[in-house]
């Protein structure tokens, strides 16, 4: 089976470049030498089972977690080497939409979307108000600015989260499981909104999900995370037909296959291998 990954030598133009990323929590190895390149303006979707470390990966990209080994390059800058002040500066270029929205429940929707603008830009209150409305319109949520998050449905909360993420006009957008736990119709709406955002803003986007429908509709490229590594990486059409049995098991949602079998039988060996690595 040919390795579907691009050659490990990073093209120098890659917007985000993850190199040999290792991360463990206590005895658990979550990322195990992960490599991935994301090009400017590309929508990259990272899939993988629950608990394979997708969120951990995303938190490395934005510097919320520091790798035990390896590096995260954004425009060629290794973010784990940045100091406190530099990382603040660096994060201005990012927008992140969290799994359940992570809206501040002590604020109204409008204040939530205005928050990054107030903290990070020098806009006047009138400009901020205008931008908030623009962003809410972009996610099709006009007229909810004065409500509080607890009055919104799950899908609406996430869209407010998107609005907050794009408010600052970031270069890079991160979506953490945008459709998890939503009904099919809301999921489709969310996917549409993400696609619109990608098309209109032309940002570099990284989405993590385990929802294949979402991956196919919103991704320019799909990568699969398994056992701390990227085991497959291809455009959606190609990805669908990859021969890797692990990918096929995931795509078709089979209860039995290499992922589940390996997991049951391989725990001991995996532990030993990791112990040696460290």
Partner 1 sequence: MSSIPNPDVGTLPPQAKRARAPRRLLPRPVENFLVEMGRFFQLLGRLFAWTPRPPYDFRELLRQMVRVGFDSIPVVFLTAMFTGMVMSLETFTTLRRFSAENYVGSLVALSMVRELSSVLTGLIVAGRAGSAMGAELGTMRVTEQIDALEVMATDPVHYLVVPRVWASTLMMPLLVIMADGVGIFGGYLVSVVLMGANPVSYMSITYQFMDVSDVTAGLIKAAVFGFLFSAVGCQQGFYTTGGAEGVGKATTSAVVLASIAIIIADFFLSRLLF
Interaction site with partner 1 (CB under 8 A): 24-30, 32, 49-53, 55-56, 59, 62, 64-65, 88-89, 91-92, 94, 96, 98-100, 102-105, 115-116, 119-120, 227-228, 263, 267, 270-271, 273-275, 278
Under 8 Å between Cβ of 228 and 32: yes
Q: Which C-beta is closer to partner 1: that of 29 or that of 44? A: 29
Tokens of 199: 């098309």
Of 206, 61, 48, 25, the closest CA to residue 70 belongs to 61
The span from the CA of 57 to the CA of 40, in Å, is 18
Beta bridge partners, 36, equal 18
Q: Which C-beta is closer to partner 1: that of 99 or that of 217? A: 99
3-class SS letters over 67-126: CCEEEEEECCEEHHHCCHHHHHHHHCCEEEECCCCCCCCCCCHHHHHHHHHHHHCCCCHH
CB of 13 to partner 1, least distance (A): 25
């Amino acid at each position: 089976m040919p390795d579907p990954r691009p050659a490990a030598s990073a093209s120098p133009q890659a917007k985000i470049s993850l190199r040999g990323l290792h991360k463990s929590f206590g005895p658990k190895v979550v990322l195990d030498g992960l490599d991935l390149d994301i090009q400017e303006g590309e929508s990259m979707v990272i899939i993988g089972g629950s608990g394979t470390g997708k969120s951990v990966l995303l938190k490395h990209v934005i510097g919320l977690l520091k790798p035990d080994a390896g590096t995260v390059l954004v425009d060629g800058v290794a973010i784990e080497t940045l100091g406190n002040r530099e990382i603040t500066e660096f994060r201005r270029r990012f927008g992140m939409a969290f799994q359940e929205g992570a809206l501040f429940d002590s604020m109204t929707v409008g204040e939530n979307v205005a928050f990054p603008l107030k903290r990070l830009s020098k806009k006047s209150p009138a400009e901020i108000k205008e931008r908030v409305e623009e962003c809410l319109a972009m996610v099709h949520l006009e007229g909810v600015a004065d409500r509080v998050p607890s009055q919104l449905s799950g899908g609406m909360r996430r869209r407010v989260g998107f609005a907050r993420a794009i408010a600052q006009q970031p270069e890079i957008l991160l979506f953490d499981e945008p459709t998890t736990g939503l009904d099919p119709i809301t999921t489709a709406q969310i996917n549409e909104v993400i696609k619109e955002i990608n098309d209109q803003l032309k940002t570099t986007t990284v989405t993590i999900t385990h929802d294949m429908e979402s991956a196919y509709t919103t991704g320019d490229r799909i990568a699969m995370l398994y056992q701390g590594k990227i085991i497959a990486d291809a455009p959606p059409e190609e990805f669908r037909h990859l021969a890797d049995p692990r990918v096929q098991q995931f795509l078709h949602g089979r209860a039995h296959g290499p992922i589940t079998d390996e997991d049951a039988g391989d725990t001991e060996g995996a532990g030993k291998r990791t112990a040696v690595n460290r």
